[in-house]
Structure 1
Amino acid sequence: MKFTKMQGAGNDYVYVDCTQNELKNVSEVAVAVSDRHFGIGSDGLILIKKSDKADFFMEMYNADGSQGSMCGNGIRCVGKYVYDNGLTDKAEITVETLSGIKTLQLYPGSDGKVKTVRVNMGAPILQPEQIPADIHAFKNAEILKNVDRLVAQPISVDGKDYEVTCVSMGNPHAIVYLDKNVDLKAFELEKIGPMFENHPAFPDRVNTEFIQVCDSENLNMRVWERGSGETFACGTGACASLVATVLNGLCNDTATLHLLGGDLKITWDKKENTVYMEGPAETVFTGEWLLKEEN
C-alpha cells in the first residue's frame, strides 16, 4: 500500500489514493498504521476516492479504527494531495464527506505546491438533537426542554461542574472555557478528556475543546478527539470553538485559534451562516506499508 503522511497544524493522517484501487479491512489498517510505536504514526487514516457528487470523496478513520464524518485539518491535506499529485489542476475543488460536500480554495506557492487551503465548512449545527446531545444528562434538564441551543450549560463530569457550549460541524463538539490563570499546557486533558468523550450527555461520544480567550481575536485551544485522544489540532473543533465563543459574546466573528500544532484562522459569516477555515497543509513523507495477506 503506497501512502503519504501529511499534517495540518500538527493533526497528522496517513493518506491513500483509492481513486483506482479499493483498500480492504480499512478499520484494521487504520489502527495498525496509526500506532506511533509499531506503525507509521498518525491520528488516523484518510482514503481519497472518486465521487459522483463532487470532485473527490474523503473517507476518514480515527486511530482506534472508528469512522469519522469530517476532519477540517484532514480535508485541507486532501486538497493539497490531489493538486500536488496531479489528480486535479483546479484551484477550487469540492470534496464529498459523510457530513456533506465541502468547497476548498487551494493556494499554491511559488514552487507550484499547495501551501494553505481555505475550506467552506458549512453551517454550524446548534440544535441539541442534531449534534447530538441529550439534554436529560445536563443539570438544567427541565429548563432545556424548550431551547434550540446549548450555550454555557452546566454539566457534571467526574464530580465537578463545567459549563459547556455544544456545536456540531458535522461531528459533535463540547466547548469548555478555562480561566486565564490556568496553565493550559499543564491541564490534565488525558484524565478529563475521556470522561467528556464518553459522558451520557453525548450518545455518539464527543470531541471536547478547552479554550482560553486571550482577546477578541485570539483563542488558545487544546482538544480531546473522540477515537483519537489528544491531537495537536482539530479543524472542526476550531470552527466549533469560534462559533461557541461568538455565541458566548467572547470574541469577534473572525479569530485565530492557537493550537499545539499551529494556528488556524476561523470566520463565521453570520449573513451566510457559513464557517470558513484557513490553515496550512504539509506533506511529511511518502512510503509503502506492507499489508497483511488477507488485505
Structure 2
Amino acid sequence: MKKTQFYKYQGTGNDFVLIDNRDNFFDRNNQKLIESLCHRRFGVGADGLMLLEKSEKASFTMRYYNSDGRESSMCGNGGRCIAAFATDLGVVNAGESFSFDAVDGMHEALVEGDVVSLKMVDVKGVRVYDEGFFLDTGSPHFIKFVKDPSEIDVYEQGKFWRHHELFAPDGTNVNFVGPVKDGKVIMRTFERGVEDETWSCGTGAVASAIATFVNSGEGNSFVMSVPGGELTVSFNAVDEETFDNIWLKGPAKYVFEGTL
C-alpha cells in the first residue's frame, strides 16, 4: 500500500479511522488491510474504519467497515464523526445543514463546534419479545432492560444474544438498558463486527431510547448515558411501531492523524 494519510476521530469513546477516499485510491475490498488498521496492537486501533467518498446526490458518501474488516450497516457515531471530518476537510461548512449518503440512505447533519447532530432513518416496526425489544435503526438492535447495566457481563451475555436463533442468520447488536433516572438512561452495548463491548453506539442509543418509550409509554427525548459519555436522542412517535424525525446528538472529536 502506498503512503496514506489517515485521521482518528471519536464520538463518546466510539473511535474510528477515517480516510479521504474521494480519489478512490484506497482498496475498499481488502478486508485484511482494514482489519489490520483497526487492530489495537498492530494497527492504528479503532472500532471501525470509514471512507469519505464522492457522491452525485449529496455532499459525500460514507462507507463504514467494522473492525473485522467487513463493510457493515449504519453506524450512528460513525456518521457524526465523518460529518465532523468532512467539516475539517472543508467539504462542508460548520453551522450549515448538509446531507450525505450512507448504506441505509440519506442523512442530514449539522456540525456546531464539537457537537454533531445527525438525522437518522425512520424506524418502522418494533418486535416485542418476552426478553426484550428488537428494531432496526440503520443497524439491527436487541434491547434488554435490566435493573443495573453496570452489573451485567456485557461480553458473555452480549455474545449469547448476538448469535441467538431469533436473529439468525445475520445476528444483532445487543444493548443492556436501565430505567430512566433523573432524565437519563444508562446503556451498554455489545457490537457485532467488533464482537465485544464498545464505549458507545449511536444506532444503539437510538434503538434504546425508542424501546424505552415503547416500554414506558412516555417521553420523546432521552439522554443516553454510555461508558464514553452522553448522547441525546429525540424523535416523533407516529405510533408504537413507527418513528420519524429521529435525531442523534453528541460530541464528535478529532484525536490525531498520521501516515500509513
What is the TM-score normalised by the length of structure 1? Answer: 0.81
Divergent runs of 4+, >4 A: none
**TM-align CA RMSD:** 1.5
Q: Which moved more, 1:25-34 or 1:206-215?
A: 25-34
Residue 14 of structure 1 deviates from its aligned partner by 0.2
Q: Which moved more, 1:212-221 or 1:229-238?
A: 212-221
Structure 2: runs of 5 or more not aligned: none
* Count of residue correspondences: 249
Alignment of 1:130-169 (within 5 A): 149-151=126-128, 153-154=129-130, 163-169=131-137
Report if the CA contact (8 A) 2:104-2:121 is conserved. no
> Are residue 234 (structure 1) and residue 210 (structure 2) matched?
no
Q: Which moved more, 1:84-93 or 1:68-77?
A: 84-93
> Are residue 118 (structure 1) and residue 123 (structure 2) matched?
no
The alignment partner of 2:180 has SS state of: strand
Q: Distance in 1 between matches of 2:50 and 2:43?
A: 15
Structure 1: runs of 5 or more not aligned: 109-114, 127-148, 155-162, 290-295
> Are residue 84 (structure 1) and residue 51 (structure 2) matched?
no
> Are residue 248 (structure 1) and residue 251 (structure 2) matched?
no
Q: Distance in 2 between matches of 1:215 and 1:252?
A: 13
Residue 61 of structure 1 deviates from its aligned partner by 0.5
Report if the CA contact (8 A) 1:178-1:212 is conserved. yes
> Are residue 261 (structure 1) and residue 239 (structure 2) matched?
no
Q: Distance in 1 between matches of 2:183 and 2:107?
A: 25
Match of 1:201 in 2: 166
Q: Distance in 2 between matches of 1:269 and 1:216?
A: 21
> Are residue 178 (structure 1) and residue 139 (structure 2) matched?
no
The alignment partner of 2:24 has SS state of: coil
Match of 1:94 in 2: 99
Residue 165 of structure 1 deviates from its aligned partner by 0.4
> Are residue 215 (structure 1) and residue 181 (structure 2) matched?
yes
Q: Which moved more, 1:83-92 or 1:189-198?
A: 83-92
Report if the CA contact (8 A) 1:124-1:274 is conserved. no
1:174 corresponds to which letter in structure 2? F
Alignment of 1:186-197 (within 5 A): 186-197=151-162
Match of 1:146 in 2: none
CA deviation vs aligned residue, 1:31-72 (integer Å, no higher than 9, x gap): 101111111110011111011121111001001112112111
Match of 1:275 in 2: 246
Percent identity over the alignment is: 33
Residue 198 of structure 1 deviates from its aligned partner by 1.2
Match of 1:72 in 2: 76
